[in-house]
Amino acid sequence: MVKVMIFIDGSWLYANQHILSKRFGDNYRLDYGKLPQVLGEIIAENLGGMPVDVVRTCLFGSNAINYDIDDEQLVQNRRDFYDLLREEYHYEVEVFHVNYRGKRLKRSDRDPEDDFHPQEKCVDIALSTAMLYYAAIPNAYDIAVSVIGDRDFIPTLQHVRKIGKRVAVAGIKESCASEYADYKDPKRLKDFDIIWLGDLLDKLELKISKRRLECQSPLHIGSRFVYTDEFIRKGRRYYCHECKEKYRVQRLEQRDFIQPPMAEYSFEPDSPTSYGEIKKLLVRRLEDGSENKYGFIRNERGDYYFHSMDLMDDVDFEFLREGDPVMFDVAIQPNPGSRDKPNGKGVNVKLMDRREQPVPASPPVQSSAPVSSSQPFSPQSYQL
């Protein structure tokens, strides 16, 4: 059986999804679970019906750090997207950080006179390295399918073929280097005609029939049962659109409550991974009976605020203790001149020492400050 490995430039594909959507309308959703299967079927057809085994699908992408806090939802959506690929579809995903130095993610949201250009590093190199690495391992794969558009990969494809592997390229017509589309292939880049994703939209569409689900949000009003065609992650609770919107608004209100103005942030470049210890844990009980759980991490740079939703999946807020050593990703750096203000932002918080976690002897500190129902609850929501 022919072994196929798929290598996807995730940053390029994510940025060009809107091109694919134009053909089917704004509601079109690409099914990443079907993508490896469909590409494998096309390779099998090109081989005259020979059986094909897609042994790995590897995606290489990026996400922002040190970004304007108004873009936090966009960053979270991208983070959720990568988690979806890992957990639902078993992709091998490598994500690299892009330092935005406190700027907005979209150029249209920045000052027209601002000449800042985010520097995405490592994605192209990581994809090329992986493709060549597996090509050098005996029997790892016979055919590499590259889902790419940039001409930066030309040397990689040439060398993979020199090793004796066959190469296929899948791309988007409106965002594809001419070398990949050239049917004469003078640079000897591929062994098959290019695969246009735009011609496969019907096969790749995420199709979900409406079904009746129960909203688990504590803020839900009225009947909890709703009909929806939303994509629901495995093992995740369902929250209806209205409750997600309430939660989004409340997170914005909490952000303004807990963090200082943007002018006080420091956006000096730094390693995205940092270490510290839990300084304080707080639980704020809301008028509707739900709880808002958050805390602060301290290290030599200052304090970092984190929400219970910023914990890694294997970390339970209830078992955290003040003084626990943690590792986390820096979303926003604190102001070095305001050490007593927890104005940094930490995400992907993980305990460094995995201990047995008994029933906690004492709960986190209960805040006595008056709280309105505008403070957030913490649903595990996902938006593709």
Mean pLDDT confidence for 6-30? 87
User: What was the pLDDT predicted at 263?
Assistant: 39
Q: Per mean pLDDT, which of 69-73, 83-87, 109-113, 254-258 is the most reliable?
A: 83-87
% of the chain exceeding 90 in pLDDT: 41
Q: Computed from CA positions of residues 163, 166, 172, 173, in that sequence, does the dihedral angle turn out positive or negative?
A: positive
Tokens at 174, concatenated: 């409106």
% of the chain exceeding 70 in pLDDT: 83
pLDDT band at 26 (very low <50, low <70, confident <90, very high): confident
Give burial (CB, 10 Å; 0-12/13-18/19+) of 240.
buried
- Cα distance between residue 43 and residue 30, in whole Å: 20
What is the pLDDT of the chain when averaged over all its residues? 82
User: What was the pLDDT predicted at 290?
Assistant: 63
Is the predicted pLDDT of residue 204 greater than 60, yes or no? yes
pLDDT band at 368 (very low <50, low <70, confident <90, very high): very low
**Contact between residue 245 and residue 220 where contact means Cβ atoms under 8 Å apart:** no
User: What was the pLDDT predicted at 358?
Assistant: 36
Summarised one tens digit per residue, pLDDT across range 167-192 is 999 999 999 999 999 999 999 999 99
- Cα distance between residue 366 and residue 83, in whole Å: 32
User: What was the pLDDT predicted at 276?
Assistant: 92
pLDDT band at 378 (very low <50, low <70, confident <90, very high): very low
Q: Which domains does the chain have, with CATH numbers?
A: 2-204 (3.40.50.1010), 211-253 (no CATH), 260-366 (2.40.50.140)
Summarised one tens digit per residue, pLDDT across range 253-291 is 665 555 544 434 444 444 578 899 999 998 887 665 667
Is the predicted pLDDT of residue 63 greater than 70, yes or no? yes
- Cα distance between residue 7 and residue 131, in whole Å: 7
Mean pLDDT confidence for 106-127? 87
- Of the candidates 169, 216, 173, the one whose C-alpha atom is nearest the C-alpha of residue 190 is 169
- Cα distance between residue 8 and residue 5, in whole Å: 10
Higher pLDDT, 343 or 60: 60
Is the predicted pLDDT of residue 73 greater than 90, yes or no? no
pTM score, two decimals? Answer: 0.66
Scan for tokens 């053909």, then name that residue.
23
